[in-house]
Structure 1
Amino acid sequence: MDQITVRSRARVPAITCGSSATSSRLDRHLSVLAGPAVPQREAAEATSLMLELTTRDKTHERSDRGARVRRVSLFAPLRRLRRSLFGGR
């Protein structure tokens, strides 16, 4: 009989705010958002893919104007999220 393996969830540090009921409710919500843990092999493949995508081409010279137009910031969504969560600058 084959055994079913269930992936464990990523560990999220406990949140202490207000009462313990509020903290445990937040912990439950965050554990649902975290999703199942990713196997190490898949994480390594994803990391190498991100490195490949984000490395800069050192041999190709660009003008200042062209570099600004073609550059895509991968951190723009994170900046937007940070501003919405923590306010302006």
Structure 2
Amino acid sequence: TPSLRDCTFSVKPGELILLTGESGCDKTTIIKLVNGLLQHTGGGTLAGTVMVGGQDVAQTPLWELARTVGSVFQNPKSQFFNLDTTSEVLFG
């Protein structure tokens, strides 16, 4: 059963979006669709197209998407590889 159907939205240049909702309502799925993680890591099946900046996310390298799309998840500390900022910056 698809978790999302007929989901369409637009974000204007320079606009920031906050995605909120109850646990389990597919916020993370939407974020992973937009930032390309779902398409590039095989985390699901996409029927349709996700466009960012006029480019198909499934056909755009993750490093290029990262120039445009940023994501902060519920526990930001768990999305980093290192425990302190200096080590994280040096890692990148």
Q: TM-score normalized by structure 2? A: 0.25
Larger radius of gyration: 1
Bigger proportion of residues as strand: 2
Higher relative contact order (CA 8 A, sep 6+): 1
Q: TM-score normalized by structure 1? A: 0.26
Bigger proportion of residues as helix: 1
